[in-house]
Structure 1
Amino acid sequence: MEETLNTFEDRKQAIKANNNVNVSNNKQQCSLSQGANGRGVVDKTTAANDKLLPHWPLTMGFVLVLGYLFLAVVVIYLINTIWSIVYPHILAKPLGHIIDLKKLGDWAVVTGATDGIGKCYAIELAKRGLNVFILGRNEERLKNAVEEIEKSAPNVEVFSFEVDFGQATPDKYAEIESILKKLDVAILVNNVGVSYAYPEYLHQIENGRTAIWNLLQVNCIPCTLITQAVLPNMLEKKKGAIVNIGSASGLFPTAFMSVYSASKAYVKFLTRNLIEEYRDTGLIFQCVSPFYVCSKMSKMNRPSFFVPNSSTFARSALNTVGLEEFTCGCLSHAILVSLINLIYPSILASSVTKRMKKARAKFLRNKGKKD
């Protein structure tokens, strides 16, 4: 009996020992399996990283280079913009860089000089010691302008020529040319110009065909033919300045002022082409494109920082001759055009169109007209 119990106990111990061995083996296999699987995942991740790492510095370097280039472009643009505003309108005069126009000749010629910017150019040129030849269409206004110029600068010679540029024939331009050939012209200011009575659709312009014809005749032909007339003498002496008065409307699309805007764009591109044609001749060409200035044409009579009076504008603009080929004429307008250049073109065009629509509606409402 005792022997049987011992045998049973031995078997029980043997079974227990066998179970312990199996459990131990299972744990070892599980551990080995987990280790193998984990190592596989790690190995795969490491391999993937090994493939990416060689390209990572290159990619980051490329991004950094692009970032630095963009930053450099922005900085250069800002410096150039600030310099283009500060130098001609603030620094040039104290630095003594303003051109002495008397060194270019004895006479200044100004078209459209009976009022506004043109008359103020003539007065300022006379104050700087130049004799002045003015052209305009109204005899009485010409006489008054001559008297005002002589009063502001008693020591200069002033005379005038009556011409309606809207009706001027080739013979009339030949007559003007014959006078100009006798003068030692230092500077020609092509200022004469006309605009719309109010913003309007092209097909609804009052007296449409006649008004449009007159506008193009006045805004485009004189600056071309009178420039042609003074060039031979200027080229012969290798000095002289030609200033064409454009408009900010010629710098970007101006809906409801389409013909006027296009005519001023012509003035700008005429100037640009003449600069290239005569670049090595010693002549100075400049296009002045102002925003609003207090004058009869703008119908604004309250001067402010952004809307200077004609006298202040003419004095400032003359100081930029020889310094800027394309200018807005004064500090405030230079700031305006720099800000406008930051606006996306389509947004700018839309904004201008809305403003012109409002101006048109206001004019029609004040005149009791229906839209």
Structure 2
Amino acid sequence: MEQVPVKEIPLRDVILTLQTYGRAGLRGWPWLLLGALLLGGLQAWRVNQEAVFYEAATVFVVNKQQSGGNALGSVLGRFGLGGGAGDTGHSPKRVMAFATSRQLLHRLLLDTAELGGRHDLFINHLIEQSGFAEEWKLQELYGLDRLSTNQLDSLSRQERSLLKMVYAYLTLDPEKPIQKDISDETGMLTITARTRNEALSIYLSTALYHYLSDFYTEESTGQSLASVERLKARADSLLTEINRAEYQLANLADTQLSLTRQRDQVRRLQLQRQVNIATLAYGEVVRNLETAKFAMDGFTPFFQLVDAPFSPLRPAYPQPLKAGIRWGIIGALLAFLGLCAVFLYRNIMHSDD
């Protein structure tokens, strides 16, 4: 099959064409100015309406390495109990994934906090001090602007909807009330709270760190801790069995003046054998239990606070000028592209004529 030769366009023609379109766009400079003023002015006005925010950052580290995890897994595996969730390690990304989980934030929102000298649910403080009751028109939507109890099961349908709205605000809103960051160089983790109230930002940042450390530790060691508790229960059961057999053996010796009867001798041997077997089993379980406790400490996550926020915080004011300049340039560029498109359309229509 014969190939059709591709016609090459000289570089000079390309440059001349670009110059032609550039001059056509620049000739319409009033439209460029209008586009810059419209889009830049609109964005500057929008940014100027934004509230003042306060950012509070909490910096911490979590140990990555685990020592003794394999030992615990082998010890518990001998009893068919499993090694627990700690075998997966403590990845910083995995830790941060829990920071905005629904269960963790629900615990935080429904807990009591003292802000401004008043004790109330944290979600009520957040709604009140951020002005969301009026901004979100909560009374019109749900007929309430606060929660009455910290028990999730006791919340009404409207209160549950309000709780979901606040959770969505913390995790999805463009204001980014909760920001997470992991430093690739140092491995430090940062949780930044960004709200419209200084005390609210400080409390949200520090409380989220404490809730995260407790929640993640509970999740990481819960299964292993339950396994250790089962070993402990087994040890207690064996000890009770030993005490009972020893008591029966002593009682048999006290109640018989002479152990010459064969039946008494057999009973004595049976009890002594039961004590010996239970004692050996008890010693093995206790040894494994202590090993398991020691090994579990090796993969229990350790949170170390590096930096905590404190007042006064520097307010983050809106920057309408910066936004106006940036979007003004974008507006001028869009107007320029529009003029070039009009010029191209006219050339095509004239060439057809």
Q: Shared topology, TM-score over 0.5?
A: no
Which of structures 1 and 2 has the bigger CA Rg? 1
> TM-score of the superposition, structure 2-length normalised?
0.20
Which is bigger in relative contact order (C-alpha 8 A, separation at least 6)?
2
